[in-house]
Chain A
Amino acid sequence: EDQVTQSPEALRLQEGESSSLNCSYTVSGLRGLFWYRQDPGKGPEFLFTLYSAGEEKEKERLKATLTKKESFLHITAPKPEDSATYLCAVQAGAGGTSYGKLTFGQGTILTVHP
């Protein structure tokens, strides 16, 4: 069974204080690892897809990296508007039968104080 564990559950930062969120996963053949942002009462907003170990992607103050067992979302000099829940999800499929389905972690609630 595919599993995703995110840490920490909650993270409070001061504006400008860089940090990282962790996503550990076990999956039967990784097709892709996804990062989403979710604001309260809203749907997940797509951020990144990573496909293979060593891959990195950047968007504004966010950078996502991937190893064979985990992914990190690095936040550089965060601003209050970066406050949200960040979700990690995996998609199996390389050699498996579960095409399409995303398995989510419980998320990390990020609060950035001005």
Chain B
Amino acid sequence: QSVLTQPPSVSAAPGQKVTISCSGSISNIGNNYVSWYRQLPGTAPKLLIYDNNKRPSGIPDRFSGSKSGTSATLGITGLQTGDEADYYCGTWDSSLNAYVFGTGTKVTVL
């Protein structure tokens, strides 16, 4: 049972925007940095966002991250068919002394 809650799925048409929420608590998102990962079907996850809102080199600025209180949000603009994947948030939980992932969100491009 994950301590970070994400919507199971979100969808939008090509070119549109989607946002994915990640809800936690003071011991995880509230006090620590959040990262986001994308997992294309049949492949390993890949880092999309770190330090709440920073993009690694090679990740386009269509992807953005933000954090407020005990929640974080991933935004994807200019949606493309290649963005169809599972997306996970994650952070350290200082009470559990463990890293925790979100429940995961499947993005579908209509």
- Physical interaction between A and B: no
Q: Which residues of B contact A (CB under 8 A)?
A: none
